[in-house]
Amino acid sequence: MKKYNRAGAQPQNMDVEALKKEAGISACSYVSSGMKVGLGTGSTVKYTILELGRRVREEGLDIVGVPTSIATEVLAKQQGITLCELDDLDGLDVVIDGTDEFDPNFHLIKGGGAALLREKVVAQSSSKMVVVADDRKRVDCLGAFPLPIEVTPFSHATTLNAIERVLDCSAAVRQGEEGPLVTDNGNYIVDAKTGPTITEPSVTEAQLLHIAGVVQVGLFTEMCDVVILAGLDGVSVLEKS
């Protein structure tokens, strides 16, 4: 594990937003000219996109980005980053994304931003996944953060009931301003309140994907290679062994 701070920084005096900015900017060290880059979604990876945009404009960084959400697409375009459809590329060199939780084996819970389906498609197409997070996201066992599950609107209550039976937990359809929140793909998100009990995330993922109405599950297993972690003692780089 590597640890470093930017010169002159005093992490113990930083607030959470400043720490997230540190992590987001640090992740840009994994990007160089000529790369095809997956651009994640979330409050921490936002700073990665802003820094990549600065490097494109001021340093001539030559990259092609694939956004994981409409919000990320809008931000990347504003920053002058060239974007492309994943279908037009032969895979990606790296994806940089956030997470809601990660465990000691680098398994993730994602989907707090309701972009888990596109995030997983992009992650599976990338040679390396770099995750940016603050140390509140580090857990011993996944599940304290409610597990997001993308489901079809058709008979979604039936799907929700099936999810509750499989996980033996309570679950609810995530709400927006005018009813169920609708993802960029036109689906709903069910948040399953399992508590920190997901000890075998690959098994849990397979069980949920067996339910016909489930489109995708916010468990990212065997995908993450690096976590850029911001904490009160600075920014740490955690690499999967």
DSSP string spanning 96-118?
Answer: EE--SEE-TT--EE--TTS-HHH
Exactly one of 73, 101, 119, 150 is catalytic; name it.
119
Contacts of 123 (CB under 8 A, 6+ apart): 38, 95, 97, 129, 220, 223
d(CA 219, CA 102): 10
Return the DSSP state at 138. B
**How is residue 91 written in tokens?**
């895979």
| Whether 222 is catalytic | no
Residues annotated catalytic, as ranges: 119
